[in-house]
Structure 1
């Protein structure tokens, strides 16, 4: 318990028990420390980094004062959604919807290119990369003349052999290793029945736009031989580990590879649809999370330091809310950017081990950028796709999937794991195998996570239930393979936030980075602004603001402090915060509905949503069928602070029991109206992809 958590009356009683001379000394010391702090740019910059969830980029050539100014400017730009730079880059080719933004690079698939073996009939597409780093020269009106697409060409010849190759997936690790990885499927004959699946690591700095040159292959990792020519595959790089999910036939193969030491650390198989594609989550460099679509759980794994030949099973499973009978998860995917960086990572360049802290990677780590996002303070955004076939659905919605997203901090998940998994010490030499060990229950500080009683005590595994293997040199505990399971009510409601997307694909309209995520209300604004169509398949016809949700607890605390003391001072925190009578009524109805049924709370929210039509126009009840979240109805330049427990809108009773969530956030709608079909983001920018009748373009909003 900290001193700041005590009441002023209690602190006064404590001070009365101390000698007055000691109190005066503390007062003078505090004044001195306060003056030193305000006179030190380094201390103030360090505090700003901690409050903003960033880490310092030691390779930056900027001074500490310039870094602090840049950090404050970035914070203000994001708070007010006022980008400091806007530009558009046309795409001279058709782009597949499988686009990604990683470490300042935009990766798209060029659908116009096709290396098509006539004997095979399989289409290969090039990958185009666009460097979105802020350009220092130019006014930012149109950077298409200076920006250059870097093309990674496909090759049908590898290692001098006439081998056919199919690119499957792409992953990058630019800040750490200056590499990008490609997963390939290759074969020697047009009518081959066995295909070799492998991963090739390339140095990113060698990537260029020369049409028939390929960058130098740094390392080649063979995974397996497959009967499927183009299996679904996902890969992720963090530290020295490459994690691969590969679906072949009715089996999902999981590989965890140490590419520094060339060692396969762990490999196991699970039935198809257990772990879906794009569901690899690094909680830290050695802890993995896989959403399990079959069991409705989050499976947690430890990456071993050495290869293991024991049966692999998660050591902990976090239960998700239970679905209603005859309803199941179609898929559960997750994004958690940025990926954790190791303290010291090594990679072999030219036969020499190069440290991430050496001069060889200075150009890759972007010296002009003063700070990087801390992965530990970032969000994990889980996307749930659920197939429904209900008799009361309209004909337009029959058979269409429904989507939900779940937002939780990566650091909160790590704390939950620590609560329920304590390492067992090995027994001493004079202890018997069956001897009972006594452990104390440790009470934790629950202020950071606002947890209830079930999470305020650290749980220990009873050593009597663990089998002990005695060897000549070591004694170790072997925990049973069945993972410990934690119910949803014991870990989820205090630290999570749910959103309902209904039948709008959440992967295209909601993306996150760090502690922020962006959301496109494409189901609402084309309707209430008079669009002629609500068909989201062809892209939104009308325009709408983009909505940024900020989950940083420092922003929430500062905003709430302002609003609690004097609502008229809200503009000092966020400009033009919407605190209308309807909004305050909505606050009150949510708090009073938390203990009532889901149906009544949904009714209150629907009534409030219908009452806030644009320019006072009443919104028809039919509009409420298109989107389930209040934040989607924010008008341009409006903001809404949500720091209370709310029930998830579940119009079709998808979940067996009411689902509530409490993670606070600040939602802000932009002044600008856009018509993007897809949105991406990182810590510096928003990237919207526009699909028009005559041209396609990438539209960038730079905030740093």
Structure 2
């Protein structure tokens, strides 16, 4: 006897179904009643379906059970969809913040500046943000981390490594007579975040073989440097630029193995070619190229094995695998700045294994937003260079999924290798020596124009009225924004593909329900109209009977008599008082004749109204009356309509949902509405995006938009998995107008 799939034991069948993607599980639901019941009643299958549909990943180290995780995940998704703010906690900032900040892993960090100076950053302060899972929510206290050097910027990898990477600089100790032009040494301090926050001095990270990494030596004449730093797995990427030094300098990209403490790869480019970077995966780096107006995808070389007794191999030169073109600009415009960010960052391949082996785990959350398909936000400033509009800057942002970009990435063939080169000491790794050892020219890489990849994968926004300096405005599939300098609602857009597809299904279902309801109401109206007509006919028949059941001959006689009397009244034909020789049908109406005519007409119409067939009761429109003294030349009599006309495409929407915007407004219950946007939209032509021909830039990436009911007076908003951070205005808590420094925040807990 052959055994079928359904005949397997339920626990074995559930185990098999756990390996299926969501699309296959959906097909199984429609197969038979047995599979439907099994899938809908299995906690683990429902949890896996919820994980994939919300683009989240499970945390196997969490102490929560599957049922608790499923309940929390559904509650969190519903809270974000309705944008329900469960609690707001205000935090005052008593120190003077510098321009450094970061917001990740439940930690909000700000730099500390000296009073009266813009730079440098002398220290760090942070708060551990409260969570609704903590029970009682209290206002957090600021904690300090002292580094002992002037800080340029920082990088955080708290969830993966408990790592704080501080990029600092100090004067060259070999220069005995320091001046403003004295060379400066840039270094990276690898610190353990949790230990450094409880100690009076910085604590080196235990996994870093070299707690301080030498980066380079720069001349003081190059001025202030700007950098971007990201950490994924064992890789630390550092982008170093000098925006105020001019085209005589270069941009430098460094790729470090921070655990082994050696430089894996470098890359140099012309001045202001790159201003930001982001990881697409553990092995692929994204570099927006301002010169070519493209997104460069760069593979990261693997870690080399070498004896611990010898120097590491010389760094290799990075090469671009493919360039994805951005929409072309007109020749009168240029991109002066671009920043990008994706949260959370990808995790190293050995993350969960290393956490399990370490024995300690502070990450008790049941699930996290999946980094492999998180969205990236790109903020661009486009400047006019024509004399009449010189200095005019437009702000544009666009969103794209990591997976959409990785789709076009191809690993280099043959793979990057480490050739046997002479070993070098760490102090020899300065920009000049690296440029001499790098290849003079890179081989050309393939380029894909924007129309071939961009429209279905991106969504573009005009952000002139939206603060874009604060880049941590996305987490997972969501993007938060608020209007600048005005009290406005908070807007959260969910770009999850399955969330959009789910809302499309809800919209179709609601539309079909409205159409069915409209048809049912129309049918009910017709039935009631027919019943009303029959009732009126019965009333008319009763009236006929009340008149004495007039026979046909008598009715005809009555009708002829009525016509005769009306004719005589109209033409004034009476037997009495008529002059001799006068015609029967001549002469004007006398006063008595006019009264008799009026009475006759009224009586005649009354008789016709009672005895006329029902077809005469149909509504009609009167002809225009040109002599109407009020100027109203027409009057319309509408038919009997017991119910108002219902238009299924016109919905009552809240004041925060502008019906003039593209998209469909969907009622999700509880008085809440969201907007589903799947239509393609174009950027305004005044942005000069689209090249010399003025071709419109289309974007089609769908999203679901939720809008808060309350308006907030924030200068900017940030977000993570369960919170929104608002920079507040006010008499005491306000934004520093001169230095764009926040002096107070609100923590909005979504739940």
Same fold (TM over 0.5): yes
Check 1:123–1:138 CA distance in 2 against 1; reply closer, same or farther (3 A cut): same
Q: Is the CA contact 1:562–1:569 (under 8 Å) kept in the aligned structure 2?
A: no
Counterparts of 2:464 and 2:285 in 1: how far apart (Å)? 29
For residues 60-459 of structure 1, what are the structure 2 equivalents within 5 Å?
Answer: 60-96=62-98, 98-111=100-113, 123-134=120-131, 136=133, 139-140=136-137, 143-144=138-139, 147-155=140-148, 165-187=149-171, 188=173, 190-191=178-179, 193-208=182-197, 212-216=200-204, 218=206, 219-228=211-220, 230-248=224-242, 249=245, 250-276=249-275, 279-305=276-302, 306=304, 311-345=317-351, 355-363=354-362, 366-367=363-364, 369-388=365-384, 399-418=391-410
Paired residues of 1:687 and 1:701 also in contact (CA < 8 A): yes
Rg larger in 1 or in 2? 2
Q: Check 1:100–1:425 CA distance in 2 against 1; reply closer, same or farther (3 A cut).
A: closer
Out of 688, 696, 706, the position equivalent to 1:653 is 688
- The answer to whether the Cα contact below 8 Å between 1:105 and 1:130 also exists between their aligned partners in 2 is yes
Residue in 1 that maps onto 2:464: 502
Q: Please, which runs of 5 or more residues in structure 1 have no aligned partner?
A: 1-25, 156-164, 347-353, 427-478, 523-539, 571-580, 587-611, 620-628
Partners of 1:694 and 1:569 in 2: how far apart? Answer: 52
SS of the residue aligned with 2:329? Answer: coil
3-state SS of 2:272 partner: coil
Report the Cα offset of residue 61 of structure 1: 1.0
Give 1:198 deviation, angstroms: 0.9
- Cα 1:510–1:195 shift into 2, 3 Å: closer
**C-alpha separation in 1, matches of 2:337 and 2:83:** 33
Q: Is the 8 A contact 1:83 1:703 kept in 2?
A: yes
Q: Aligned with 1:328: secondary structure? A: strand
Structure 1 position 36, deviation (Å): 2.6
Q: CA deviation at 1:618?
A: 13
Give SS of 2:187's match: strand
Q: How far has the Cα of 1:614 moved from its partner?
A: 6.0
Q: Provide, for residues 431-450 of structure 1, a one-character-per-residue CA deviation record: whole Å limited to 9, x for no partner.
A: xxxxxxxxxxxxxxxxxxxx
Q: In 2, are the aligned partners of 1:253 and 1:268 still within 8 Å (CA)? A: yes
**Counterparts of 1:423 and 1:502, CA distance in 2:** 43
| Unmatched tracts of structure 2, length 5 or more | 1-27, 305-312, 417-440, 515-645, 734-742
Deviation at 1:264, TM superposition (A): 1.3
Q: Secondary structure at the match of 1:355?
A: helix
Shift of 1:328: 1.3
Q: Residues 64-95 of structure 1, C-alpha deviation per residue, up to 9 Å, x if partnerless?
A: 11111000010000000002332212222343
CA gap of 1:553–1:122, structure 2 versus 1, over 3 A, is closer
- Please state if 1:483 is matched with 2:445: yes
Secondary structure in 2 matching 1:356 = helix
- Given the superposition, is the C-alpha separation of residues 68 and 407 from structure 1 closer, same or farther in structure 2, using an over 3 Å criterion? same
The 1-side partners of 2:182 and 2:161 are apart by 36
Contact 1:55/1:374 (8 A) holds in 2: yes
What is the CA–CA distance in structure 2 between the aligned matches of 1:266 and 1:615, rounded to whole Å? 50
Q: 8 Å contact 1:124–1:154 — kept in the other structure?
A: no
1:550 matched to 2:494? The reply is: yes
Residues 293 and 27 (structure 1 numbering): CA distance in 2 closer, same or farther, change over 3 Å?
Answer: closer
Task: Report the Cα offset of residue 318 of structure 1.
Answer: 0.7
Q: 1:130-179 CA distances to partner (integer Å, 9 max, x unpaired)?
A: 11141656654xx22xx121211242xxxxxxxxx310111111111111
- 1:325 offset after TM fit, Å? 1.5
d(CA) in 2 for partners of 1:256 and 1:408? Answer: 25
Alignment check: 8 A CA contact 1:637 1:669 kept: no
1:13 corresponds to = none
CA contact (8 A) 1:168 1:230 kept: no
Contact 1:177 1:356 in 2 (8 A): no
- Taking the aligned partners of 1:110 and 1:671, their CA distance within structure 2 comes to 35
1:292 Cα deviation after fit:
0.3
Q: CA RMSD in A?
A: 3.6
Distance change in 2, residues 1:424/1:388 (3 Å): same
Query: Cα distance 1:287–1:32, how it changes in 2: closer, same or farther (>3 A)?
Result: same
In the TM superposition, residue 343 of structure 1 has moved relative to its aligned partner by 2.0
SS of 1:270's equivalent in the other structure is strand
Shift of 1:246: 0.9
Q: Secondary structure in 2 aligned to 1:167?
A: strand
Q: Distance in 1 between matches of 2:35 and 2:450?
A: 45
**Number of corresponding residues:** 526
- SS of the counterpart of 1:84? strand
Cα-to-partner distance string for 1:382-406 (whole Å, 9 max, x where unaligned): 111111256776xxxx724211111
Q: In the alignment, is residue 663 of structure 1 matched against residue 669 of structure 2? A: no
- Normalised TM-score (structure 1): 0.68
1:284 touches 1:376 (CA, 8 Å); kept in 2?
yes
Give the superposition deviation at 1:655: 3.0
Partner of 2:518 in structure 1?
none
Q: Provide the C-alpha distance between the structure 1 equivalents of 2:674 and 2:708, rounded to a whole number of angstroms.
A: 9
Tell me the residue number matched to 2:505.
561
Distance 1:616 1:322, change over 3 A: closer
Q: Equivalent residue of 1:658, what SS?
A: coil
| Separation (CA, whole Å) in 2 of partners of 1:661 and 1:70 | 34
Tell whether the 8 Å contact from 1:172 to 1:180 is kept in structure 2 after alignment.
Answer: yes
Cα–Cα, structure 1 residues 659 and 100, in superposed 2: closer, same or farther, change >3 Å?
same
Q: Rate the CA distance shift 1:650–1:125 in 2: closer, same or farther, 3 A.
A: farther
- Provide the C-alpha distance between the structure 2 equivalents of 1:273 and 1:493, rounded to a whole number of angstroms: 27
